[in-house]
Structure 1
Amino acid sequence: MDKQLEKRETKILARYKKVIKSFDKTWRVIDDTRVPILREVLSWLDHPDTKLKIIQIAGTNGKGSTGAMLGAVLKANGYTYGHFSSPFIMDDREQIRINGEMITKQDFLTYYDQVVATFAAHGHAIDYLSYFEYLTVISLLAFVDNGVDIVIFEAGLGGLRDATNAIEVPMLTVFTKISIDHQNLLGHNIKEIADNKSALIKSGTWVINYAGQDIDATKVLRARTEAVGARWFEHKRDEIIILNTTPAGLDLSINGESGYFLSMSGAFQVHNFSIVLQIKAALIEKGMVFDRAKTKQGLANVRILGRMNYHEDTNILFDAAHNVDGIRGLVSALNAWHLKIKPTLILGVLKDKDYHEMLDEIVPFVQRVITVTPNNKTRALSADELAADILSDYPNIEVEVANDASAAISLAMRVRESSKALIVVTGSFYTLSAIHREGGI
């Protein structure tokens, strides 16, 4: 790299970091004015959302995995796609990807400047939008500019007041499993949470529902679909059989045909994959074409940072299970592998989660726990507090406190019985962020 180019890259990086740092990071999901404001902003920007074929994905667990599988299948079949998701682990731009690649820092800044200029033209300051709202808008501008065939658009938190609800009618509105999470913001039971998320269903969209959805949640989604004049997409349930499961992924048979390998581990991923097959059926009905061999190739190449992400060279599994349902899925996978040695667990949780129940689900299945503090200054439960809680409920478990993420990895590799003993890092996206940032993984 010549000096002039290096100087330019350094300047871009510095400004990128400054812009990211300047954003208001608060969630505005209890403010009824935010979605109307965002709709107005999109109108100022010439309605980028209406120029895109959007597949909106909502739910409590499985949005990221479902989106990643769908993206891999689309790409393998020759379609271009944009993917907006949250949160991130290493770089904020992980949330805005085109064909699996993050947009460049320069492009991010270009779209940011476009939004800021629009605010100035309408008499608003740069803090008119929050961090997540900015990224929602920037992603749409990027996807339009790149002329993608399909947009995979994941809801952030809930649906009713979520920034992604500002878009016009999506082509498909997809619901993964809805379970208890963020009760203080979304509702105290499944029905209330489903009601919040169902606000994403708009007249004219096709609704795709997770086949194993809670009955109460399904009733709410169906009622909303009928009330607004959307279509409930019916698809004969595919028969998916797990032939073999390892930390590297799943060998599957689909409707009696073997030869499918899904490079994402955990039996629960079959449920997410079944949603992808429903989406694929809907897209075929809309005129898109998928080749079976190419689809198999896509599934074998699914990669998603932090979700059942296995590093074979170090025998470490990273999974951002951040609620009770996610932890149950992780434990189910660990049990299916019939490990000869109980794993060593590196765990960090947020204090506003139901972490006591998360502990009840996973601690009995591990050899020891190394606690860390997640990379979130306001919501993290400290490693010391977590260790004290574990020892109080499980006095016979071996518990260590790591001062930082790097120390946690070093300690885990040192104290595990052998290199054949799995290390599992989980509890929150912010835990994985700390591990990747400080631990150099």
Structure 2
Amino acid sequence: MAKLVERRAARVAANYKRVIKRMDNQWHALDDSRVSVVKEVLAWLGHPDQKLKIIHIAGTNGKSSTGAMLGAILLANGYSFGHFSSPYILSDREQITVNDDMISKSDFLRHYQTLVACFKRHGVDANHLTYFEYFTVISLMHFAENAVDFVIFEAGLGGLRDATNAINPPLLTVFTKISVDHQLSIGRNLKDIAENEAAIIKPGTLVIDYAGQDMTVHRILKAKAEAVGAEWFVHDQDQIIIANTTPAGMDLMINGTSGYFLSMPGAFQVHNFGIVLQIKAALKAMGYTFNTEQTRTGLANVSLIGRMNYHPEKNILFDAAHNVDGMTGLVAALNAWHLKIKPTLILGVLKDKDYHEMLDLIIPVVQRVITVTPKNKSRALSAEALAATIITSYPKVEVEIASDASAAISLAMRVRESSQALIVVTGSFYTLGALQKDDRI
């Protein structure tokens, strides 16, 4: 019997790998037709999105952290939730979870076959959707099948042409901090990017904006909400004070009340948590209930791979800071901890990012840098090229090159002054994906 189960699992795994490999992995970020394609597919399926209470989250940074905190609080208060998030770190199935459990390979394949059969009936082939579009649609199918109370639905790239924009008006439309990133895909400047993100605002939805949003961005979002007939959520800003911060998390006071511990370090997470408190207030206004103690419990149990993810037994911090804004937050956290020994940095970046400015931020606060090549053949800056850039611009910093993930971890553990010296892994989701697969992490 056990061997039969093993053979079946192996067959499912092989089929899953084959299906994923066949998918079109391009973003088609400038193709105006893609959202309409996804909308049509959702209509063919009977509109699974209309059966769900969706909280649609867009923005440049903080979407996944905001989603993780919100999910933990919902779950602690007795609500079930689905979460669609990208990109992934260890497994692409991380992108679709129900109550933090990844979709199984067999469930994914079952939904995939339903889609393929649907395409056949409508005279299109299996490549009718791209990889990201498949995951977007399958997530909605999976969440509807599980009849979750809420769906946390993160936009992938911008808003206008993003596959998640194909849904009908969601319960809430939420914006995290919008800053300059992906200029080649969604906008040349902050105004263009904000207009692209604002395109997800639909009639009848309730819009929640990050309290510290750039005023230009804020005005664009609010004008879009008024233009389409969406409601703008007005909420007195919650006062959140950091009482203590360590790599393991932060003790917080919320509106004068202490006793809250957020198990995600980094002062910038307070801004994301402020968005979560707005969402919670909006849901309470709609009649949903939240218990203070259960909310505390949820907050203390937030976990998110690769976003200020601390491994105390190895004294290693993983953070997917992949742009200037993200790196600013990481550096602020490192400075706040007043570390006695400067960290050892394992760094891998993409060549289409503003990595020179990222280096200007992170290099002054580290002892040495071990460069790696992220797992992205077309976009990765090689470890050698990154090392050469650092040596030229920062000659006083120790720089070494690691041939692969295992070598980088081994080297970092060997060269750091002691186990008390923090190792920081950052620069790209693709860097973290390779390094966190190392067996010793």
TM-score range, shorter chain: over 0.9
- The secondary structure found in structure 2 opposite 1:395 is coil
The TM-score with structure 2 as length reference comes to 0.99
CA deviation profile, 1:337-392 (whole Å, cap 9, x unmatched): 00000000000000110000000010011000000000111111100000001111
Equivalent residue for 2:55? 55
Counterpart of 1:45 in structure 2 is 45
* CA distance in structure 1 between the partners assigned to 2:421 and 2:392 by the alignment: 26
Aligned to 2:118: 118
1:197-276 aligned at under 5 Å gives the runs 197-276=197-276
* Alignment deviations for residues 168-194 of structure 1 (CA, whole Å, 9 cap, x no partner): 001000000000100111112111100
Q: In the aligned structure 2, how far is the partner of 1:22 from the partner of 1:440?
A: 32
Q: Which residue is 1:172 aligned to? A: 172
Q: Residue 374 of structure 1: SS of its match in structure 2?
A: coil
Q: Summarize the alignment of residues 72-151 of structure 1 with structure 2, pairs less than 5 Å apart.
A: 72-151=72-151
Instruction: Give the CA deviation at 1:287.
Output: 1.0
**Where in structure 2 are the equivalents of 1:369-384 lying within 5 Å?**
369-384=369-384
Shift of 1:440: 4.6
The residue that corresponds to 1:194 in the other structure is: 194
Q: Does 1:403 align with 2:403?
A: yes
Report how far residue 396 of structure 1 moved.
1.1
* AA of the residue aligned to 1:97: T
Paired AA for residue 145 in structure 1: E
1:65-76 correspondence to structure 2 within 5 Å? 65-76=65-76
Instruction: Name which of structure 1's ranges 1-10 and 204-213 shifts more when overlaid on structure 2.
Output: 1-10
- Conservation of the 8 A alpha-carbon contact between 1:108 and 1:138: yes
Tell me which residue corresponds to 1:365: 365
Deviation at residue 421 of structure 1 after TM alignment: 0.2
Q: Root-mean-square deviation (CA), in Å?
A: 0.7
* Partner AA of 1:4 in structure 2: L
For 1:298, what is the secondary structure of its paired residue? helix
* In 2: Cα distance, 1:231 partner to 1:189 partner: 27
* Structure 1 residue 133, shift from structure 2 partner: 0.3
3-state SS of 1:437 partner: coil
CA contact (8 A) 1:344 1:412 kept: yes
Offset from partner CA, 1:56-94 (integer Å, 9 cap, x none):
000000000000000000000000000000000111100
Distance in 2 (CA, whole Å) between partners of 1:189 and 1:128 is 32
Deviations 1:124-171 (A, max 9, x none): 111111000000000000000000000000000000000000000010
Which amino acid in 2 is paired with 1:70? L
What secondary structure, in the 3-state scheme, does the structure 1 residue paired with 2:207 have? strand
Aligned-pair identity (%): 68
User: What do the CA deviations read for 1:41-62 (whole angstroms, capped 9, x no partner)?
Assistant: 0000000000000000000000
Question: CA distance change for structure 1 residues 439 and 367 in 2, over 3 Å: closer, same or farther?
Answer: farther
Aligned to 2:20: 20
Partners of 2:263 and 2:48 lie apart in 1 by: 34
Separation in 2, partners of 1:356, 1:24 = 32
Q: Residues 254-283 of structure 1, C-alpha deviation per residue, up to 9 Å, x if partnerless? A: 000000000000000000000000000000
Decide whether the 8 Å contact of 1:404 with 1:438 is kept in 2: no
Deviation at 1:21, TM superposition (A): 1.1
How far, CA to CA, are the matches of 1:367 and 1:138 in structure 2? 45
User: 1:437 deviation in Å?
Assistant: 2.6
2:30 matched residue in structure 1: 30
CA distance in 2, matches of 1:161, 1:377: 24
Divergent runs of 4+, >6 A: none
Report if aligned partners of 1:351, 1:381 keep a CA contact under 8 Å in 2. yes
Give the total of aligned pairs: 441
